[in-house]
Each structure stands twice: as C-alpha cells, then as structure tokens.
Chain A
Amino acid sequence: MTAIENRVPAAQASDTRNQTGETMTQPLTGERESQSTGGSDAVVVRDVGKIFTTKKGATVTALENIDLTVAAGEFVSLIGPSGCGKSTLMRLIADLDTPTSGTLTVFGKTAKQARLDQEYGIAFQQAGLLPWRTVRANIELPLELHGFSKAARTARSRELLLLVGLGDFADNYPDQLSGGMQQRVAIARSLAESPNLLLMDEPFGALDEMTREHMQAELAHICAETQAAVVFVTHSIPEAVFLADRVVVMSPRPGRIQAVVDVKLGAGERTDDLREDDQFFASVSEVREHLHGTHATGVRGVENR
C-alpha cells in the first residue's frame, strides 16, 4: 500500500465520524471546539498515517487517518490493544519518528522544531536513568545538556525531588532504588525544564498495582500543579479514566482512533476518592464498550481491572 492510498478524502472521513457518534462521545476525530491550529493547542495531529517498511520489504500500516487535538493543559490518555500504534503516535509527536503522511504540529511548530525547542518532556515504560549518575544528577541531565548554571540546576532538582517525594534519595544511584522510585525520578527528569507538554508511554506499566495507583494519584497531583498538557499511553482502563480529561480509544490493524470518551470527574484535582465515583465507573464502562467493539472476540492486551 502506498501512502497516497491511505489518505482518505475529508468527506469520507467525516462520514465515519457520524456513524460512531454517540451521546457521551466526542466526534471521532477528537476535535474540541477550537478548530484552530494556532499556538493555543498543545498538539494538533491532522490525517496522520505511518507505514513502516521492514528490512524484507514488507509494509506495516501502524497508523491511518489519525486526527487528534490536545488543548493546552489538557490530559489525554491513549488506550488500545497492543500493536494499535499508541507508541508510534507518541513517537511521532516527540519527533522520534516521522509520519508517512499528514501533518503534525506541537504548539504551532513542526514536531522537529518543538523537539529542538524543548517543548515537551518525555517518559517511557522503562525509567531509562543513566546508571552512573545519582538521582539528582539524572534529574539535572537535561538542564546540564542545555547549559543551565549550577545554581539553577541545584535549585530545580531540589524542587523536583520534593515534588516526587525523593528528597532523601538525591545522592543514591538508580540501582539502589525500587522500580517505582526509578520511575518517579524519570518523571521528575521529564519535568525538569517545566515543559508545557508531557509525553508518557506506559510509564507505570512495569509497576505493581499498589505502587501504580499511588503513582497515578501523584501524577494527577503533579499535573494539577504544573498545568502541562499530557499525552499518556496506557493499556489500563481505570488508569486512563482516572487521569484523563479525554480517553482516546484506538483500534489495531491499521491503527485508528475508534472513539474519544469525555471523562467528567469534576474540575478539581483527581484524588483516590474518585475511584469510587459513579461517574468514574460510567466512564470505565464506556471505554470498555468501545474497546470491545473493535473485536467480537474481545480484546487482548488491555487490562480491565
């Protein structure tokens, strides 16, 4: 398949939109009211496709017709079964890979320019700390690379250590920390330059359930404090719902946006109490229905807990 064939005319795309339009669901494209591609939106993805060509010449359509707008300060979760292109979409936003078709802007700039301007902070499933650096030095890494003064670095890392609750571990090395603590360091590092956009690819995926819920509450707190927009990839439905303003449900082969669910959990900070909230359960059910809609056989690779 060529890139051209994958581009669906706008009219056709809006047809698909109407078919799935449901009461609680946003339009399929994930559009908010603002259609502008101006600087007020954190991420604007327009009709993006990504086709991988393997070494043997085979092609894999990882993403097709992706339209998504993430407003400034908005928390968007991406959820879907394994291989539906969540990571790929995030990597395109981060300019770690380039789309085969379509356009993508971050704060009104090209993805590459946004990366060079340090518009985003990023965290992956593996903490990815440098083992020869202390916790503090790991958090200061981006600041050091971008030429911040020693004083500025120290002040910022102290702030962040307190924010993620690792004040006492500043001088420890990563191999002396638990997985959850390592992940907190990675999150602190992604916040080092106070980015307006956070990209997180299953950052809690390797953690046990207890640590995970704790980290979710902490992340909710951090986001309330920093006011950054977040694109958060996960395969846990409760996690997606608990954290996000909107949950983007994706389906595989080819990776597309299946539905966008608005989570209405009130304006305040998300706390653990909300996990018992009726609205929380309603949103969880809704996301689950959309996920199961993709396959009659049920969805593998997505946790229902």
Chain B
Amino acid sequence: MTQGQTPTTQLMAVLPGDDPTTASRARPSSGGTGNLRRVILGALGVVGIAVFWELYKFLGPEKGWAIGTTIILPRTNDMSMPHVWTMFERLFQPLTGAANSKMMWEAVVDASAFSLYVAAVGWIIGVSVGFLLAVLMQRFRTAQSAVLPWVILSQTVPLIAIAPLVRRWGSQIEFGSFVWENWMSVALIASYLAFFPVSIGALQGLNSPETAHVELFRSYGVGWWKTLIRLRIPASIPYLIPALKLAAANAVIGTIVAEVSIGLKGGIGRTVIEFAGAAGGDPGKPWAPIFGAIAIGLIAAGIVSVFALFLRRFMRQETNS
C-alpha cells in the first residue's frame, strides 16, 4: 500500500462508520427500503426517549435521591423535569409577555438559522482547507511528515482557549471597508474543528488506489494532476463522505460552543445560555433552544447525506466474482 498509511489508519479507526468496504456492500438498489427502515427506527428511538422520560418522571422520587451531596437520581418535579408536552407547548407560546412578542418557535428558528449559516461557512472553509492539506500531503511525502503531526496536535488545543484569541486577533483585522465581525471568529473556530476529519479521511482516500491502478495511469503517461482528478479523488470518496459528516457535526458543535465563549449574539448557543437562566417560572423555556440545536445537527447531517446520494457510484467496489 502507499506511504503514510500507518498513522492515518489508526486515526481513522476511531472515526465511526468510516469503513468504505462495508459501506459499499449495501447496494444502491437496496437503498429505498433500507432508508425507510432507518427513518422508522430513528423515530422509534425518539419516542422511546420521551416515554422513558415520562416514565421516570412518574415513578421516580419527587425530591430526587442523593447520598450526602451527590445526586444519584434527579428530581422529578415539574420545574426540574417538565412534561414532554410542556416543552412542545412552550414552543407555540409567545416568547415574552410583551404584546408584540414573537412566538417561541420563531425565535428558535431565527437563532438556529443564524447558527446553521455560521456553521455552514465554517464547514465549507474547514472542508476546503482539510482537503487541500490532504492533497498537499499526498503529493509531497515531506509535507506529510511536516504537516500531519500538527494536524493531529491542533485538535488537542481546547476550544475555550483559542476562542478569545481568535476574537482578539480578528478585531485587529481591518482592510478598507472590511471589518472583522464576531460571527467570522465563530465560523473560523467551527472550521478549525471541521478541517481535521476531512484532512485525515481525504489523505487516506487519496492514498487508497491500488498499485495496479496507479501503474495503469503511469502506463498512460499522464502526470500527477490527471491521476489526482481521474483516479485519486474518485477513489477517495468512500473515505471522504464519513469525514464530511463528522466535519458537519464538528462545525455545529464548534459554532455553538464558540458562540458562547466569544459572546456572539443571535445564535442558538447564546440562546441556550440565556433561556437556561429563565428556567425559574418557565420550565419549558430552556428546552426550546435545545430542540433548535438538535435540529441544526440533524439538518447539517441531512444535507451531507443528500450530497452523498449524488456520489453513490463512487461507493462501488471492483468485485471479482
């Protein structure tokens, strides 16, 4: 196999659903019924959680249960654990008592859309940078030995530590009429989390063609660039798709956490914190933005999955029957 396989293989082993061989064994033709099944199972899972919640609320001790000061079982009163329907009802009530107040769901949708937009910008930047790094590492072995350790190290820096730094650096940027805004810092941090799985997955994918295929292209007398476009990139897609999904999840998490630590207003991360404080007389309120955050994650994953549908033929394997 090709160079640099060892470190990346180990890394990819920790990424879920990254095995292109098993992924491709499910033939595209069987996708229809399989998808329906997955949707039903997913919905059953959600219903299961709601049922469990209500069941515990019904059976569990009102005051919770603690040994000393360590809480073992949470309290089940309506303040700590509102009914599932209370949470949903709250979505369709006005945000505040003011006469012209927005509905709660509108506020959540607005905040979610803003965060999704920031996450998408971060995702696109992260995917581009990650992919370019992978191409660079594939092309030059020295680049791989020089860059790969830093790529891995970059993910060990805690987000909380870099967020204020990014904000401070950003605030010093000013070209003409361009002014660095806080949301850009958030997108940058999201991209910082998103680029990692892409660079690792793409590198593994770009190095995945067998020697026989690489030599075939050599026999055609074509150079590195055409081999990249016609062989390495198509061959990398089975590795790339799980990496893109991980990158989407990372971008969403990065956005929400960075919103909080940078103090960006308008996004779902900030809304979660704001509404959590208001839990006092309004137990359903903190849950509304949490639903929003979940929705962003699902939408982001969904968009990548739809994108992956168009790349299905690249998931095929050359089988020898």
Interface residues of B in 226-247 (CB under 8 A from A): 226, 230-231, 234, 237
Q: Please state if B220 and A145 are interface contacts (CB–CB under 8 Å).
A: yes
**In the assembly, what is the distance between CA of A145 and CA of B225, in Å?**
11
Please pick, from A95, A122, A142, A175, the residue contacting B318 in the complex, using a CB distance under 8 A.
Answer: A175
**In the assembly, what is the distance between CA of A128 and CA of B230, in Å?**
14
Q: Please state if B218 and A126 are interface contacts (CB–CB under 8 Å).
A: no
Q: Please state if B321 and A179 are interface contacts (CB–CB under 8 Å).
A: yes
B318's nearest neighbour on chain A, judged by CB, is A131
User: Nearest-CB distance from A260 to chain B (Å)?
Assistant: 26
Total count of chain A residues near the partner, CB < 8 A: 30
Given A96-B218, A118-B220, decide whether A145 and B230 contact each other with a Cβ distance below 8 A.
yes
Q: Is A94 an interface residue (CB 8 A)?
A: yes
Interface contacts (Cβ under 8 Å), in number, total 64
Interface residues of B in 260-301 (CB under 8 A from A): none
Given A173-B316, A179-B320, decide whether A122 and B219 contact each other with a Cβ distance below 8 A.
yes
Q: Please state if A145 and B226 are interface contacts (CB–CB under 8 Å).
A: yes
A180's nearest neighbour on chain B, judged by CB, is B321
Given A131-B318, A132-B316, A175-B317, decide whether A118 and B213 contact each other with a Cβ distance below 8 A.
no
Interface residues of B in 197-243 (CB under 8 A from A): 210, 212-213, 215-222, 226, 230-231, 234, 237
Total count of chain B residues near the partner, CB < 8 A: 24
Please pick, from B222, B230, B316, B320, the residue contacting A126 in the complex, using a CB distance under 8 A.
Answer: B320
Q: Please state if B317 and A131 are interface contacts (CB–CB under 8 Å).
A: yes
**In the assembly, what is the distance between CA of A130 and CA of B219, in Å?**
15
B133-147 to A contact mask, C-beta < 8 Å, 1/0: 000000000000000
**In the assembly, what is the distance between CA of A174 and CA of B216, in Å?**
17
A97's nearest neighbour on chain B, judged by CB, is B215
Q: Please state if A175 and B212 are interface contacts (CB–CB under 8 Å).
A: no
**In the assembly, what is the distance between CA of A145 and CA of B210, in Å?**
19
Q: Is B313 an interface residue (CB 8 A)?
A: yes
A121-165 to B contact mask, C-beta < 8 Å, 1/0: 010101111111000000001101110000000000000000000
Please pick, from A120, A126, A132, A145, the residue contacting B313 in the complex, using a CB distance under 8 A.
Answer: A132
Q: Is B319 an interface residue (CB 8 A)?
A: yes
**In the assembly, what is the distance between CA of A144 and CA of B221, in Å?**
13
User: Nearest-CB distance from A176 to chain B (Å)?
Assistant: 9
Q: Please state if B218 and A130 are interface contacts (CB–CB under 8 Å).
A: no
A181's nearest neighbour on chain B, judged by CB, is B321
**In the assembly, what is the distance between CA of A196 and CA of B318, in Å?**
29
Q: Which chain B residues border A109 with CB–CB below 8 Å? A: none
**In the assembly, what is the distance between CA of A177 and CA of B95, in Å?**
61
13 contacts between A and B (CB under 8 A): A94-B219, A115-B221, A116-B221, A118-B220, A126-B212, A127-B318, A128-B210, A128-B212, A129-B318, A141-B220, A179-B320, A182-B320, A206-B320
**Chain B interface residues (CB < 8 Å from chain A):** 210, 212-213, 215-222, 226, 230-231, 234, 237, 313-314, 316-321
